[in-house]
Every structure is written in C-alpha cells, then in structure tokens.
Amino acid sequence: MPELDPTSLRAAFGGFATGVTVITTTTEDGDHGMTANAFMSVSLSPPLISVSLSRDCRMLGHVRQAGRYVVNVLRHDMEALAWHFAGRSDPSLRDPIARSDGHPVIAGAVARFFADLETEVPAGDHVILIGRVTGLSRDPAAEPLLFCGGRFGRLSPVPRSGNAGDRST
C-alpha cells in the first residue's frame, strides 16, 4: 500500500464529528487543562474511559505525575474555553478551572468523568491513557459542544421518518 499523506489523513480524520472535552488534573505546581476530542468510553464493567494524548504534550506528564484526571465534556456555548485550553489563551477567562471535591473541573460542563490512571498504551505518536472512572456528574439538560472539519457546532436533531432507522413500529 502506498504511504498516506499526513495532511490528507488529518483532513479525513477531521470529517468525523466529535464532542469536545477539556482534560484537567492537578500536580504539585498547580492545575492543568488541555482540550481533547480523542475521548471515548471503553468499558462499563469495569468502568473505563480513554483519552489519546500526543507523546510530546505537557499534559501527558501532568497526568502521569498526578495519577488521576477529569474529562470535562464541554457545553455548546463553551467554545472560548475549548480554544483557551487548546493553547489560544484568553486573558478574559478568569480562573476557568473550578474545584469539585478537591478535583479540578470545568464549571457548567455537560458531564464530568473522574478517573484514576489505570494503564497506558503506546500508539504511534500518541499514548492512549486508560482510566478507571471513580465518579461522574452529568447535566442531562445541557447540550454538548461538537467539533468537525475545523469548526465548532451544536446538535441539530434529525426529524424522525418512517425509514428503517425508526424502531417504533
């Protein structure tokens, strides 16, 4: 097979819509956060989640040092926070990290998954961190922030139709 062009591969990956999260943790030198959309559930029993971080990102070292982290699923109106934690700091965002039972969190997030780092899986230029969920919080009325094709957006419900996807019959 011919080698894939990294630019084309990145653009194709960008066509997959994802939720937007901010990973937070605390080390001896303070709170840390990073925007990530490479998050997924792994297992219900035991309760496991994963995030994929670049081998050379600072957040990887912070999570390793802390041994625990929080995945904060951002709400549809938190685009400024997503950019802030993606490296485009916004000085108008004062103290964007709050506390919940001693954990660093993003206030108003759709959901939060509190996790202890269980294992790491090397994967090319990234490391997949698998965490055991030790707690969670959720706002069922909140809408998540989405990311696709380099743009942020929000859900737009698809009208129900009489097609095969409608299981009400």
Is residue 169 very low, low, confident or very high in pLDDT (cuts 50, 70, 90)?
Answer: very low
User: Tens digit of pLDDT for each residue in 92-132?
Assistant: 887 789 999 889 999 999 999 999 999 999 999 999 999 99
Distance CA 148, CA 97 (A): 25
CA angle, 16 as apex, 162 and 151 as ends, to 5°? 105
Q: What is the pLDDT of residue 104?
A: 96
pTM of the model: 0.86
Identify the residue whose tokens are 């957006």. 153
Residues 6+ apart with CB under 8 A from 116: 67, 68, 131, 132, 134
Of 91 and 51, more confident: 51
Identify the residue whose tokens are 């990294």. 6
